[in-house]
Amino acid sequence: MIDYLFLVYQLIQLAHASFCPVKHIHSSTPTTGFIESPGYPSPYSASLDCTFNITTAASNVIQLSFVSFDLASKNQLSNQCLNSYLLVVVVDRHGRQHVGERLCGNTVPSPINTMQSWMQVQFVSTSANQKHRGFRIQYRILSEAAIQEPLSSLGEPMFNGCGGHSTPGQLSGEILSPGYPNTYPKNSTCNWLIRVEARQRIYIRIVHLHLAPTIAECERASLTIIDGYKHENFGSDKKESSSETSEAKFCGSQLYYSEEGMKSYLSSANRIVVRLVTQEGPATSMIGEERIGFKIVWTAVEGLIGEGDVVEGGQPCKDQFVCHGGQVCVEQGHGICASRSRLCIHSSLVCDGIHNCVEGDFSDEQHCYSREIITSAALGFSLIVLTMLILVCCDQFRKRRRLRVLIRERRATENGKCNNNNNNNSTQRIQPNR
Ligand SMILES: *[C@@H]1O[C@H](CO)[C@@H](O)[C@H](O)[C@H]1NC(C)=O
Ligand SMILES: *[C@@H]1O[C@H](CO)[C@@H](O)[C@H](O)[C@H]1NC(C)=O
């Protein structure tokens, strides 16, 4: 009943809200600036409804940090921000709106670091007779390429290789957990950033995973793949982050992800964070086991070929290798079948010894085997020919040398004949060699 009355009161107040024109802030290049409540730092008036519309080019992102924050506190009865509040709406690349919680009171909120290029900040005030200074927020427009991976922390200093990032133009890579394949560090958070060209996406395949004996031991160690273009509140509201679906978490070992397609992830855009979080090291029961930790292969994907060879996103796969895809059937014979995604990958990734197509599709490395056979056969044949040539040459050389020796010997014998007419030994010796 009381809540209802407040709602009615609020609605009446809103109807009287003063006109506060939408403030458009747009910059296509990196910049920084401030947004403030009307009249800041003087107390704001009642009946305000202001919107700040911040936009930038798609290659940039917007971040907000709160410099000063003093709004009316939460309503004591409903524990909600009713009198005045700030609402941050992040619009993602797909046009979806992510509405944050209402912010009020005088606790300075955590920074909001989005990976998006469109944000709206709404300020509503309905409370009369209250003296609050309002807010001052710094917005920063940054180039998306300049955003680094979140910080890593290593619990045991003797390990290395905790976190990192791909290099510009890289098309494929491998990520190993620190200490792989023997162990992994405890109390650590390792963040790896994979960033490819804006037109590309990232396909991640888990080659090996062994973190804990059971899948329930997520606290011990877990591997998470975070799609970089989700709206993420770094370090602030955990609840909001975990409600996002564009995240894949892996615990235990690969035994629990035996079905095809379970050990891979295709990003929605060109950025992904791979995160290893550990509290403890490997379980004692795992000591001595092979390949503890994880190994990941990632590939920059140029496009996806859908059914009927229609290219998704209008990206032609010209001069690229198109993975064959094929079908995956749950049961042999008359089971349920689905076709695998056909990735377009850079032609330099074909026959590089790493399989870059989706799980179960080995087409990029398939005909390399026969190619190898042909190469090694050709090589073997040349070797044989070469050996024969050498043998023939040596034989010729030996024959010629023996002939020379014989000629010398014969001359010596002929000289001897002049002195001694009866010497048959040397003639007999010549005969076997003709
Ligand atoms: C904010 O700017 C975008 C892009 O210019 C526009 O489409 C949108 O309607 C604006 N929002 C408001 C509330 O004015
Ligand atoms: C874990 O690491 C953090 C810093 O990264 C440190 O503050 C904390 O004391 C460590 N905890 C243990 C149990 O080692």
> Cα(250)–Cα(408) distance, rounded to whole angstroms?
85
214 lines ligand 2 (CB under 6 A): no
Average pLDDT value over all residues in the chain: 83
What separation in Å is there between the alpha carbon of 278 and the centre of ligand 2? 11
CA dist., res. 227 & res. 241, Å (int): 12
pLDDT of residue 93: 80
Closest by CA to 170, choosing from 349, 365, 362, 363, is 349
Q: Which atom of ligand 1 is nearest to the CA of 22?
A: 14
At 259, the pLDDT band (50, 70, 90 cuts) reads confident
In sequence order, which residues have a C-beta less than 8 Å from that of residue 19 and are 6 or more positions away?
none
Q: Which ligand is nearest to the CA of 118?
A: 1
Query: Which ligand places an atom closest to the C-alpha of 52?
Result: 1
Q: How far apart are CA 124 and CA 15, in angstroms?
A: 12
Domains 2-146 and 164-321 share a fold: yes
CB 208 within 8 A of CB 254: yes
Tell whether the torsion through CA atoms of 385, 391, 397 and 400 is positive or negative: negative
- Span from the CA of 191 to the centroid of ligand 2 (angstroms): 17
Q: Does residue 182 have its Cβ closer than 6 Å to ligand 2?
A: no
Residue 27 alpha carbon to ligand 1 centre in Å: 14
Evaluate whether 237 touches 197 at the Cβ level (below 8 Å): no
Residue 64 and residue 121 in contact, taking contact as beta carbons nearer than 8 Å: yes
Beta strand 188-195 with 164-165 is parallel
Q: What is the pLDDT of residue 239?
A: 41
pLDDT grade for 432, boundaries at 50, 70 and 90 = very low
| 2-146 homologous superfamily | Spermadhesin, CUB domain (2.60.120.290)
Closest by Cα among 407, 399, 396 to 429:
407
**CB atoms near residue 117 (< 10 Å):** 21
Q: Which ligand is nearest to the CA of 57?
A: 1
Q: Which residue is associated with the tokens 């040459």?
A: 393
More confident residue, 185 or 361: 185
**pLDDT score of 34:** 97
Instruction: Give the model's pLDDT for residue 410.
Output: 85
CA distances from 177 to 192, 228, 248 (A): 10, 20, 17
Say if residue 394's pLDDT is above 80.
yes
- Cβ of 341 less than 6 Å from ligand 1: no
- Give residue 155 CA to ligand 2 midpoint distance, Å: 6
For residue 58, the one-letter residue type is A
Sequence-distant (6+) residues with CB within 8 A of 386 are none
What local confidence, expressed as pLDDT, does residue 241 receive? 42
Residue 188 host element (H or E): strand 188-195
Q: What is the pLDDT of residue 234?
A: 41
Q: Is the CB of 155 under 6 A from ligand 2?
A: yes
The helix (run of H) or strand (run of E) holding residue 97 is: strand 97-99
CA-closest candidate to residue 193, choices 215, 226, 219, 220? 226
Statement: residue 381 has pLDDT above 50: yes
- The answer to whether 305 and 340 are in contact (CB under 8 A) is no
Q: Give the max Cα distance, the chain.
A: 147
Q: CA 309, CA 329: separation in Å to the nearest integer?
A: 21
Top CATH class of 164-321 equals mainly beta
279 lines ligand 2 (CB under 6 A): no
| CA 53 to ligand 1 centroid distance, Å | 6
Atom 2 of ligand 1: nearest residue by CA position: 53
| 240 phi/psi in degrees, rounded to 5 | -70, -40
**Domain ranges within the chain, ordered by starting residue:** 2-146, 164-321
Report CA(189)–ligand 2 centroid distance (Å).
11
CA angle 196, 201, 204 (to 5 degrees): 95
Mean pLDDT of 149-177: 93
| pLDDT at 182 exceeding the cut of 80 | yes
The string of pLDDT tens digits covering residues 312-362 is 555 567 778 889 888 887 766 667 788 888 889 998 899 988 889 988 888
Q: Which of 53, 97, 116, 120 to mutate to test the pocket of ligand 1 (most atoms within 8 A of CB)?
A: 53
Mean pLDDT value of segment 363-392: 83
Of the candidates 200, 178, 209, 179, which has an alpha carbon nearest to the alpha carbon of residue 191? 178
Which SS3 state, helix, strand or coil, does residue 46 take? coil
Please state, as a whole number, how many other Cβ atoms lie within 10 Å of the Cβ of residue 254.
Answer: 17
Structure tokens at 152: 């890593």
The answer to whether 354 and 365 have CB atoms below 8 angstroms apart is yes
Give me the long-range contacts of 92-95 (CB less than 8 A, separation at least 24). 92/116, 92/229, 92/230, 92/231, 93/58, 93/117, 93/229, 93/269, 94/268
Nearest in space to 154 (alpha carbons), one of 193, 191, 208 = 191
* Ligand 1 pocket: which of 55, 89, 99 to mutate (most atoms within 8 A of CB): 55
Amino acid at 259: E
Task: Determine the pLDDT at residue 430.
Answer: 45
pLDDT in tens, 294-303: 999 999 998 8
Query: Which residue CA neighbors atom 12 of ligand 2 most closely?
Result: 187
In Å, how far from its chain's centre is CA 169? 13
Distance (angstroms) between ligand 2 centre and the Cα of 245 equals 29
Residue 240 has pLDDT above 60, yes or no: no
The ligand 2 atom at the shortest distance from the C-alpha of residue 187 is 1
